[in-house]
Amino acid sequence: MSLISYVTQVQFGFGAIKLLQQECDRLSIHHPLIITDPGVRASDLFEMVIDNLAGGSHTAIFDQTPSNPNEQAVRLAAAQYREGNHDGLIAVGGGSSIDLAKGAAVCATHTGPLKNFAVIEGGAALITSATAPVIAIPTTAGTGSEVGRGAILILDDGRKVGVISPYLVPRLAICDPALTMTLPPLLTAATGMDAIAHCIETFMSPAFNPPADGIALDGLERAWRHIERATQNPADREARLNMMSASMQGAMAFQKGLGCVHSLSHSLGGINPALHHGTLNAIFLPAVIEFNSTAHSMREERKLERMARAMSIANPDEIGDEISAMSKRLGLPDGMGKLGVDRNMFPMIIEGALADHSHNTNPREASRQDYACILEQAM
């Protein structure tokens, strides 16, 4: 078992879930609201959480998290939090449940609609220390939201936006790889590629942060070595542990910012919430890496070469091709066309990408035409 204090505290390792009540006591959370989704609520995983929470059968539960969390669900969860006089939230599930808990933590303790707190609305400064404390317990290895300072949420007007603040970082993450052992192969693959995308894109970001770069590269190496094993053999404990670590590490490096992969996936995910975020990231990655390869910071810091070493790829120019080949081996779609996306949607996707907060931290500024070329490559 490891206690990690970087960005926030993380209880990491097989059996870490047994520390839940101890950590609730430490954080003075005595009457939590659990945020989860119907699938997790019906699983044995949820019982593992409840069994490690004193009086767990009497704990209030919100289990209506949609696959892409939205403003309506945030309102409902925030209302239940206030009406129940709760003193903290426990998010159990994938990134959707954790992000919903973050949104509820803000809206339950601040006045105004969720839109007011979106980064693109200038809302980050409105989020204060009054934000309710969150304990995050991930059951997937992909988003890393358990250690991230942001939540990606769909507003009532259809925009998929980031709500970002240091006050949104969960007070504690319990990362127990045992909770990911029953994740189906395709979901293991899609969430795993999400973790790889996070490690790569935050490493490519031009912000100067060597510790974050080191964490991202180590996470990339772990994910690249273990994603096929975790997908093909769900019971592989070593692979599950390393994928969970890679997911956490990618998000620990988020403070550098992301880039065009995420500005595009956020935009398209807002247009069609049924599309899986990790799958979209895997599709966009090769074209965005190629686009970024000529950026000054990429050349100056030899970032392609450093990523290639982490991935055991001899030729840095083949990173994109290797990512596409990996996605194919994992059984993921190799283009947006396979997901029902057509070229008539390009203008709307580009408009959303230009407005997204991740657009500004890409190592090379992307124009409308650049985005159109990336989208064409990703078809």
- Residues in CB range of 257: below 8 A, 6 or more apart: 202, 205, 207, 358, 360, 361
- CATH number, domain at 356? 1.20.1090.10
Which amino acid is it at 10? V
Same domain for 371 and 292: yes
Residue 179, token pair as written in the block: 């909770």
- 81 close to 33: Cβ distance less than 8 angstroms: yes
Same domain for 197 and 128: no
198: left (phi over 0), alpha (psi -120 to 50) or beta: alpha
Same domain for 364 and 295: yes
Residue that is last in its domain, among 154, 179, 204 = 179
Residue that is last in its domain, among 160, 179, 198 = 179
Same domain for 195 and 168: no
Residue that is last in its domain, among 163, 179, 195 = 179
Same domain for 243 and 172: no
Same domain for 191 and 175: no
For residue 351, CA distances in Å to 157, 201, 260 come to: 15, 21, 13
* pLDDT for 67: 87
- 147 close to 7: Cβ distance less than 8 angstroms: yes
Same domain for 202 and 165: no
Same domain for 234 and 293: yes
* pLDDT for 54: 83
Structural domain harbouring 135: 2-179
* pLDDT for 254: 84
Residue 13, token pair as written in the block: 């390792």
* pLDDT for 2: 57
Cα angle vertex 213, ends 178, 270, to 5°? 65
Q: State the CB neighbour count (10 A cutoff) for residue 245.
A: 24
* pLDDT for 58: 63
Same domain for 212 and 145: no
pLDDT by position in tens, the chain (length 379): 555 557 899 999 999 999 999 999 999 999 999 999 999 999 999 999 999 998 754 689 999 999 889 999 999 999 999 999 999 999 999 999 999 999 999 999 999 999 999 998 999 999 999 999 999 999 999 889 999 999 999 999 988 888 999 999 999 999 999 999 999 999 999 999 999 999 999 999 999 889 999 999 999 999 999 999 999 999 999 999 999 999 999 999 988 889 999 999 999 998 998 899 999 999 999 999 999 999 999 999 999 999 999 999 999 999 999 999 999 999 999 899 999 999 999 999 999 999 998 999 999 999 999 999 999 999 9
Q: State the CB neighbour count (10 A cutoff) for residue 365.
A: 10
Same domain for 194 and 116: no
Into how many domains does the chain fold? 2
Query: 226: part of which helix (H) or strand (E)?
Result: helix 210-232
What backbone phi and psi angles, to 5 degrees, belong to 151? -135, 140
Same domain for 73 and 13: yes
Same domain for 305 and 246: yes
The Cα 215–Cα 243 span in angstroms is: 14
- CATH number, domain at 94? 3.40.50.1970
Which amino acid is it at 222? R
